[in-house]
Structure 1
Amino acid sequence: MPSHAGSADLLLAAPPVRADGIALFLDMDGVLAPMAPTPDAVGPVARRTAALKAVEARLGGRVAIVSGRTILEIDRISDHALTSASGVHGLERRLKDGSIRRGEPDPGVARALAAFKAFAAERPGMIVEDKSVSAGLHYRQAPDQAAAARDLAHLLQAETGLSLQPGHMVLELKTPGADKGTAVTEFMQDDAFKGAIPVMLGDDLTDEYGFEAAAALGGYGVLVGPQRKTAARYRLDDVDAVLTWLEAVAEA
């Protein structure tokens, strides 16, 4: 996991409203869309779609969604507002020309998926998500199963060598070798983003990789949600604040 460098005691200000020279990398859940009881409960919203299209036009295309969701899910929720996208924590990435680069699933993913399904079958409320290159176990609707779910995930990680990625009431075992930080770094090497100042917006621990990558490339992270220890330099309160900020950047 990333170091989460920074102080929880230092109150972070809102990010500057600027457009010239920046590139935006935006997480989905908790940033562009509110958290929901189930992954499928999140859908397109007209304001979000309009804000994404407007800010992409203002930045000359230098905007990408970087999410733990698959690109297919990113497109469904964003209503196909953007071309550039990275899904499954950097394991798949779609470039500006529409081509998709996707890693091969580790053989351990199938083992983890089967174990998660067996676990969920005996526990109402558990949701298993198959992302091909990773397997997710959601316990938002069964919070009393959190400890048992973590124990299972750690056991499977030790058995398979997969990377364990905790999130908001979800545990994901994924093919090693990529994260949101590598996604940001790779996008910044593409012609569409090269030379810009990277700005990563995220809300949970998976986004710390993106914050650190942005900072290493001369940019910064923006934490969305409550103040905590983070590598981000700025903060916004919630999804509504993010959309308001994006709309302001589009008009800057």
Structure 2
Amino acid sequence: MLGQPPASLLDGASMFLDLDGTLVHFADHPDAIVVDEKLRTLLLRLHDVLDGRLAIISGRGLDDLAGRLGLDAVAMAGSHGAEYCLAGGIPVRSTPPANLDDVTAAIIAFAKDNALVAELKPAGAALHFRTAPEMGQAARAFAIDLASRNGFITQDGSMVIELRAPGSDKGAIVRSFMAEPPFASGRPVAVGDDLTDEDAFDAAIALGGSAVIVGPRAATSAQYRLDGVDALRTWLEQAR
């Protein structure tokens, strides 16, 4: 059984935080998440306490992520690390796959035919079945087949299956950020809730840091656990 992370873990941390299911609660539609002003204030304070060593790393597209948070001073990575922007810097983006439009069209059609939610991203697309969990198996089978025929990989998640271009993951972007100032002067701490966050966990631990899982998911390499979004926010408020 994993224990809660001590407040001392925040001292000298280079903090890598997921968004959905970690900093904000899930919603039935990815556009319906709520990023409240209290969260923005918390993140700006954490950024200051950590001397800028804070990054939000999400599966969302970078523009979507940045637009929702509205925090230009905070480093961010979107599309599982395929796009990123250091604080105040110029966004760096991978070239989208040439067949992305074809894959996206297939995802949209399947979602429409089965009353699911299609989420379009710069380097892939996702099928959400939170409102129709009985469709999970069919959605996964469709996505796996589509990915195998088009050179994509699949990423399973909480009530979602995603197709994305190979070559990037959250672990790679943690390692990349940790090679740059100001992150290089800290100890990596990765926090997330979903399977895609395991890559970030493994990278942080390999670099001598720590990992914190948010929520009840059992199989994880994280050393610590917080019960949910509210528990994470309370823990982050202890940063001094």
In the superposition, the TM-score normalised over structure 1's length comes to 0.91
1:14 and 2:14 matched: no
Query: Are the counterparts in 1 of residues 215 and 225 from structure 2 also a CA contact under 8 Å?
Result: yes
Shift of residue 165, structure 1, vs aligned partner: 0.8
List alignment gaps of at least 5 residues for structure 1: 1-10
Shift of residue 38, structure 1, vs aligned partner: 0.5
- 2:203 partner amino acid: A
For structure 1, which segment, 132-141 or 238-247, has the greater mean C-alpha deviation from structure 2 after superposition? Answer: 132-141
List alignment gaps of at least 5 residues for structure 2: none
What is the aligned partner in structure 2 of residue 73 from structure 1?
A: 64
- CA distance change for structure 1 residues 232 and 93 in 2, over 3 Å: closer, same or farther? same
1:241 and 2:226 matched: no
What is the aligned partner in structure 1 of residue 177 from structure 2?
A: 187
What is the aligned partner in structure 2 of residue 232 from structure 1?
A: 222
What is the aligned partner in structure 1 of residue 205 from structure 2?
A: 215
Shift of residue 142, structure 1, vs aligned partner: 2.0
Partner of 1:121, secondary structure, is helix
What is the aligned partner in structure 2 of residue 33 from structure 1?
A: 24
1:166 and 2:156 matched: yes
CA offset digits 1:84-127 (Å, max 9, x no partner): 00001011010123211110111232222111111122122x11
For structure 1, which segment, 181-190 or 220-229, has the greater mean C-alpha deviation from structure 2 after superposition? Answer: 220-229
- Number of aligned residue pairs: 239
What is the aligned partner in structure 2 of residue 52 from structure 1?
A: 43
- CA distance change for structure 1 residues 96 and 81 in 2, over 3 Å: closer, same or farther? closer
- 2:66 partner amino acid: D
What is the aligned partner in structure 1 of residue 91 from structure 2?
A: 100
Shift of residue 191, structure 1, vs aligned partner: 1.4
In the superposition, the TM-score normalised over structure 2's length comes to 0.95
Shift of residue 73, structure 1, vs aligned partner: 2.2
1:116 and 2:116 matched: no
Please tell me the root mean square deviation across aligned C-alpha atoms, in Å. 1.4
Shift of residue 227, structure 1, vs aligned partner: 5.3
What is the aligned partner in structure 1 of residue 52 from structure 2?
A: 61
Shift of residue 239, structure 1, vs aligned partner: 0.5
Percent identity over the alignment?
41
Shift of residue 198, structure 1, vs aligned partner: 0.2
CA separation in 2, counterparts of 1:35 and 1:130? 17
Q: Larger relative CO (CA 8 A, sep 6+): 1 or 2? A: 1
CA offset digits 1:118-143 (Å, max 9, x no partner): 1122122x111111211111111222
